[in-house]
Structure 1
Amino acid sequence: MSTKTSAEIIRDGLWTNNPALVQVLGLCPLLAVTSTVVNAIGLGIATLLVLMGSNLAVSVIRNFVSDSVRLPAFVMIIASFVTCAELLMQAFTYELYQILGIFIPLIVTNCAILGRADAFASKTGPVPALLDGAMMGLGFLAVLIVLGGMRELIGQGTLFVDMHLLLGPTAADWTLNVFRDYPDALFMVLPPGAFVGLGLLIALKNGIDNTLEQRRKARTSEAVAAGSKRVRVTGHIS
């Protein structure tokens, strides 16, 4: 595997190879719990910590594990970090943990985490593996927050409701009632709304990528045309 630079790892995790918008992995919890921003942040932070920890651990042991037990060892490592995240949430954000329910333990089955462990962390050093886990986790967290904000805003007309479940009493007054007397749009709160919202985000990313690609091609064509013109002028003068 060719060595990636830090800039490439960051760009891959946040945009080019985003686990939610490009790889389309881990959709079960993403679609199920993103009805509010606080739910999205809680799940996203737990996934981020598991990704970073498992990537680092897999990279450290990569030369000591045979191919025959590679995947079972990776799953055990991921399960250990998920258990740590679950216990931390039970200790410090118990109400939010109850809301997220089964989707915290199900992080173990998130294909994005096992995929990064097998495809990247097991083939590189600890520092790039940790950076890859952080960027993939942040990319996943960003999509969760945007989708959660979209669904909460359209579904309930609010933003940042129940943030005290994650940040304590200081965040009890953070709720923004964006629309007064808003008729709740139940469709966006339910899972079908999550499918629609994620589809819109994927379409937006693809549109941005296509626009940037067209601009790049246009600049390349202009540069080639300008170079050809200079060659013709130089040849004529000669």
Structure 2
Amino acid sequence: MSINVGSIMKDGLWDRNVVFAQLLAMCPAMAVTTSGTNGLGMGLATTAVLVASNSLVSMIRHTVSSQVRIPVFVVLIATLVTIVDMAMNAWMHDLYKVLGLFIALIVVNCAILGRAESFAAKSGILASAVDGLAMGLGFTGALMVIGLIREFLGSGTLFANASNLLGSSFAFLEVQIPDYGGALLMILPPGGFAVLGFLLAGKRVLEKQLGKRAEQAAGCSVATHAT
């Protein structure tokens, strides 16, 4: 059975973005986005769990009875998160020390269980994997954007300590603005909520503008056919 990859990706990246549309996972979105690197690392870890959990849930959807599906899904997600937690501790220890408890808290990220229940439990493996990837990339992008804005305004840096996540060859991403002390407020929780609020407002305005353009284009098309 064919799947509409474009529609699934658009849902995850924009229409049903975990942070900007569904307002889920606010705890990591506010806590770990003090830098773009932290947001990217948390997002990629969550993406890995989303893709794996969606795929596995889809595989077992006809085997697990409806009465016990939620506990089974939670155990499955917890197992995957434990694997990711141990892998980051082993190979990305510096970033692991920064993210700390929030990696383990991926288990209680409503978006992961929500996608398993609402999509993967009703869809094929390929579609479920694509959905997990789309939702994960949308979540990663949201965390990274929030983190970069807060980092730039709060510390005067961009992708600080990126080499801890991506390796020494990516050290060129690390940018330091000279003679800028930064605004402490942006690193603190109120700064995170302020940045999120402005981004949500910007997304809403952009969607309205795109909707008006689509309506105008449709009207012009109808008028052209009428003549």
User: Would you say same fold, with TM above 0.5?
Assistant: yes
Aligned residue for 2:122? 123
Deviation by residue 1:109-151 (Cα, 9 ceiling, x = unmatched): 0000000000000000100000000010000001111111101
Q: Who is 1:141 aligned against?
A: 140
Alignment pair present for 1:6 and 2:5: yes
Matched residue type, 2:125: P
Give the match for residue 46 of structure 1: 45
User: 1:187 maps to which residue?
Assistant: 185
Higher Rg:
1
Rounded Cα–Cα distance in structure 2 between residues aligned with 1:37 and 1:212:
28
Deviation at 1:28, TM superposition (A): 0.4
Match of 1:202 among 188, 200, 205: 200
Q: Which amino acid aligns with 2:218?
A: T
Task: Give the equivalent residue in structure 2 for 1:109.
Answer: 108
Unpaired segments of 5 or more residues in structure 1? Answer: 231-238
Aligned to 1:233: none
State the TM-score, normalizing by the size of structure 2: 0.95
1:213 matched residue in structure 2: 211
Aligned to 2:62: 63
**% of aligned pairs identical?**
44
- Residues matched between the structures, number: 226
Per mean C-alpha deviation after superposition, the further-off stretch among 14-23 and 111-120 is 14-23
Q: Deviations over 1:8-55 (max 9, x none)?
A: 101101111111110111110111000011111110110000000000
Structure 2 residue runs without a partner (length 5+) = none
Distance in 2 (alpha carbons) for counterparts of 1:43 and 1:96 = 9
Question: Given the two structures, how large is their TM-score scaled by the length of structure 1?
Answer: 0.91
Deviation at 1:161, TM superposition (A): 1.0
**1-side partners of 2:44 and 2:221: how far apart?**
45
The equivalent of 2:81 in structure 1 is 82
Query: Aligned equivalents of 2:5 and 2:179: distance in 1?
Result: 48
CA RMSD of aligned residues (A): 1.4
Q: Which amino acid aligns with 2:65?
A: S
* AA aligned opposite 2:152: L
